[in-house]
Amino acid sequence: MDLFITGVGSGLGKALAEEGLRRGYKVHALSRKLPESLKGKVNFRYCDLRDLEKVYPTVRELLSGIGVLDLVILNAGVLGEFGDMREVSLRTFKEVMDVNVWANKLIIDAIMDSGIKVKVLIGISSGASVNCNRGWGAYAVSKAALNCLLKLYSREMEGTHVIALAPGLVLTPMLEEVMKQDEERFPSVRRIKESPKRTPEEAARLIFDTIPKLLEFESGSFVDIRKI
């Protein structure tokens, strides 16, 4: 069984890669950092997803010789700047879109052009893609675009089950950053602080355990793990 995953340097991606290994997958990972726990255990290529022209060739190289990927998890993502729409520059919006959306287009194109058969493709989305709460600007726009991007690919990728998955609240560096924001101006921050959260390890186990249920949703769907 082969798993390809992006963004294993911290948080959910690191835990998903570790859980994948535990479940017997051969793990292929693209990231900037490779944590100690994964060293020598995964097929790894360094890639900064902001460097868009490097993404396609690096994926082709990483996955050369592979015919089938049982699971692809497009996990890497950035929060960008939290703030009101007028406060956040278009440059920041573009930077967030590069990592959260356009890099994923290049990755999927590289996989398809390599002729690799993908059984299940999960894009890690967010509740922010549909909530559009105040302050979530570039991140919310990027995750809404990711949902649409994945739906579009699902119509072309025959034989691949594609799901945009909101993983629920996971205690990672990204969520820590959200919880530092002004909860008076951005009420969703207070709601997040008060809500139950999972550790990355718990969330990773839940995601793997939930895959059979995800297959019951039409390919191309957005699914929030808290609602199933």
Ligand X SMILES: NC(=O)c1ccc[n+]([C@@H]2O[C@H](COP(=O)([O-])OP(=O)(O)OC[C@H]3O[C@@H](n4cnc5c(N)ncnc54)[C@H](OP(=O)(O)O)[C@@H]3O)[C@@H](O)[C@H]2O)c1
**Which residue, among 54, 9, 57, 61, has the nearest Cα to 35 in the 3D structure?**
9
In the complex with ligand X, the residue whose CB is nearer, 49 or 120, is 49
76 binds ligand X (CB under 6 A): yes
DSSP summary character for residue 38 = G
In the complex with ligand X, the residue whose CB is nearer, 25 or 139, is 139
Q: How far is CA 128 from CA 45, 52, 58, 70, 75, in A?
A: 30, 24, 30, 28, 15
75 binds ligand X (CB under 6 A): yes
The per-type count for the chain, helices as H runs and strands as E runs, is 9, 7
C-alpha 108/C-alpha 121 separation (Å) is 9
Among residues 3, 11, 82, 160, the one that binds ligand X under rule CB under 6 A: 11
In the complex with ligand X, the residue whose CB is nearer, 117 or 197, is 197
Query: Per CB under 6 A, which of residues 15..44 are in contact with ligand X?
Result: 31-33
154 binds ligand X (CB under 6 A): no
CB-based contact 200:171 (threshold 8 Å):
yes
In the complex with ligand X, the residue whose CB is nearer, 39 or 86, is 39
Query: Per CB under 6 A, which of residues 78..97 are in contact with ligand X?
Result: 78
Among residues 5, 27, 49, 149, the one that binds ligand X under rule CB under 6 A: 49
What is the nearest approach in angstroms of ligand X to the Cβ of residue 158? 26
9 binds ligand X (CB under 6 A): yes
What is the nearest approach in angstroms of ligand X to the Cβ of residue 193? 12
Q: How far is CA 218 from CA 168, 192, 222, in A?
A: 20, 29, 9
Over the window 164 to 203, marking each residue x when it contacts ligand X by CB under 6 A and - when it does not, the resulting string is --xx-xx-xxxx----------------------------
What is the nearest approach in angstroms of ligand X to the Cβ of residue 31? 4
Helix (H, G, I), strand (E, B), or coil: what is residue 112?
A: helix
Phi-psi region for residue 83, left (φ > 0), alpha (ψ -120 to 50) or beta? left
Among residues 42, 69, 124, 144, the one that binds ligand X under rule CB under 6 A: 124
**Which residue, among 97, 218, 226, has the nearest Cα to 162 in the 3D structure?**
218
Q: Look-up: residue for tokens 């960008």?
A: 80
Interface contacts to ligand X, rule CB under 6 A = 7-13, 31-33, 48-50, 75-78, 99, 124, 126, 166-167, 169-170, 172-175
